[in-house]
Amino acid sequence: MSRRSLYLCVLLYLVFRSNIASKVGMVLQPSRHDMNLRSHSILVIEDDESLLSLFMKVLQRASYEVRSAGTLTQANGALISKEFDVVVCDLSVAGDLSIFDFVSTIQSRRPQTIVMVITGYSSEEVLARARSTELEVMEKPFTPVDLLNRITSLLAQRAA
């Protein structure tokens, strides 16, 4: 695990275990306005098990239907069996394809799916390529609430 991932895990752990957790829990409760957005399905692709677990808990707590994959091969299997509204994928996840080829496959199969790439190792070249393929990019570190808010916002924009 990289130093950055470890730092993020510790920070997120402290947030959820501290007195702030009750406040964060209140933030994670869906509002009446958002209730129609919460029936969406999300696939989270992350090879760091601690981050994957944390992201899943936050999104499930917000009443999203969430599935996970640790590799692009697992993710491809999930995408064949189910249609997802949002796919959140760590840029560094290993697989048979490059992440950009994988995303291209998702976009060609299901163009309505929102694809968000998360990364802690972003170069200008990688960010430019991600943005040129109409990917949403979220750079680490970020809080679970940031991830939740970004997904909710993207779904609201798509619905409008």
Does 27 reside within a domain?
no
Does 72 reside within a domain?
yes
pLDDT of residue 33: 47
Looking at the predicted structure, is the pLDDT value of residue 152 above 60? yes
pLDDT of residue 4: 54
Does 131 reside within a domain?
yes
Q: Measure the CA–CA gap between 76 and 121, rounded to whole angstroms.
A: 23
pLDDT of residue 62: 93
Does 32 reside within a domain?
no
Contact 52, 70 (CB under 8 A): yes
Does 28 reside within a domain?
no
Contact 103, 111 (CB under 8 A): no
Look at the block and give the residue holding tokens 């950009």. Answer: 100
Q: Measure the CA–CA gap between 11 and 13, rounded to whole angstroms.
A: 5
**CB-based contacts of 157: which residues, under 8 Å, 6+ apart?**
none
Q: Mean pLDDT, the chain, as a whole number?
A: 79
Q: Which domain holds residue 71?
A: 3-22+37-159
Give the amino acid at 65: E
Looking at the predicted structure, is the pLDDT value of residue 148 above 60? yes
In this structure, what DSSP letter does residue 89 have?
E
pLDDT in tens, 50-69: 999 999 999 999 999 999 99
Report residue 13's pLDDT band, with 50, 70 and 90 as the boundaries: low
pLDDT of residue 23: 45
Does 29 reside within a domain?
no
CATH number assigned to the domain comprising residue 123: 3.40.50.2300
Pair type for strands 136-139 and 86-90: unpaired
CA distances to 8, 27, 31, 97, 152 from 38, rounded to whole Å, are 26, 14, 10, 31, 8
Does 30 reside within a domain?
no
Q: Regarding predicted confidence, which is higher, 29 or 151?
A: 151
Domain count across the chain = 1
pLDDT in tens, 102-144: 888 898 889 999 999 998 876 787 777 777 777 888 988 899 8
Does 93 reside within a domain?
yes
CB burial string 91-109: b at 16+ within 10 A, e below: bbbebeeebbebbeebbee
Sign of the alpha-carbon torsion through 160, 137, 78, 144: negative
Report residue 32's pLDDT band, with 50, 70 and 90 as the boundaries: very low
Report residue 96's pLDDT band, with 50, 70 and 90 as the boundaries: low
